Amino acid sequence: MDEIKGVLMSGQELIALNLDKRDVLGKSVKHLRRDGILPAVIHDHGKDSHVVMGDYSEIYKAYKNAGKHHPIEITLGKAKYTALIKFVEFNPKTNKLNHIVFNAVDANQTVEAEIPVHIIGDSPAVKTGLLVIHMLDHVEVESVPSKLPDELTVDASTLVEIGDKLTVADIVVPEGVIVKTEPEHTIAVVEETKAQLSEESEEEVAEEGAEPAKPEADSKEQDKS
């Protein structure tokens, strides 16, 4: 079962996977896993789901390359499906894939997916010793499968002073993609470091604890009396 790669018309790399029908169900699937076969399911537009299986290493490669946002072309016998990964289950002890669910989609209809957001460029705030706190690493988008981006980006050059922030509205969105996450949602914000906050607190305490000096005029009047 070899993974095949090509190129979609939008410029995306196509991830293709060959799967086989699975008759083994329930607890018996543990024997498949021992033989390097991963159990899976394909949900098909409200029709009956397809219970399938495939080579563990090939499915794992597809998962690592596709995530939950990149379309996969699945071949099952004579049928082909364009699908997104809907759900993955890992073994808590070995951290290996235990099960995977694909969601077949219509290549011409819009779908929703989670897309990673990456902050690119240099932030002036970081150069001056401030801290940029990342608060959002993905957004929900809507698009036809072939136009789903692998990632979305936002420019860090506007992060200069404390309080400056990047929001979903600042994301560079490709044509044909609609971002569903609220535009005012914060992606990153500039804050002071803990060391800077500590220094300021110490300075404030020192200033509050200092005794005010007596005016010189008062001291002279006291001498005369």
Tens of pLDDT, residues 23-62: 988 888 888 999 999 999 999 877 889 999 999 999 999 9
**Residue range 141-145: average pLDDT?**
93
Nearest to 163 by CA among 137, 132, 201, 136: 132
| pLDDT (0 to 100) of residue 4 | 34
Q: Give the residue with greater pLDDT, 163 vs 215.
A: 163
The yes-or-no verdict on residue 223 having pLDDT over 60 is no
**Residue range 98-118: average pLDDT?**
91
Q: Where are the domains of the chain?
A: 4-105, 112-207
Tens-digit pLDDT profile for residues 179-209: 999 999 999 999 998 665 555 555 555 555 5
Which residues does 13 contact at the CB level (< 8 Å), separation at least 6? 5, 6, 7, 65
Burial tier of 30 (Cβ tally within 10 Å: 0-12, 13-18, 19+) = exposed
Tens-digit pLDDT profile for residues 157-177: 999 999 999 999 999 999 999
Superfamily holding 4-105: Ribosomal Protein L25; Chain P (2.40.240.10)
Tens-digit pLDDT profile for residues 1-13: 333 333 343 445 6
Superfamily holding 112-207: Ribosomal protein L25, C-terminal domain (2.170.120.20)
Tens-digit pLDDT profile for residues 118-139: 999 999 999 999 999 999 999 9
- The model's pTM: 0.68
Contact 125, 132 (CB under 8 A): yes
